Amino acid sequence: VAKCIEIGLPELILMIIFTQ
């Protein structure tokens, strides 16, 4: 579960940055 969050969280942040 921790690995999923570890990969998913930066991906989510990058997604937010690129959409702005």
1-16 burial string, b = 16+ CB within 10 Å, else e? Answer: eeeeeeeeeeeeeeee
Interval 1-20: pLDDT, tens: 677 677 778 888 999 999 98
Predicted pLDDT of residue 16: 93
The confidence score (pLDDT) of residue 2 equals 72
**Global pTM exceeds 0.75:** no
Residue 1's pLDDT is 62
Residue 6 confidence (pLDDT): 75
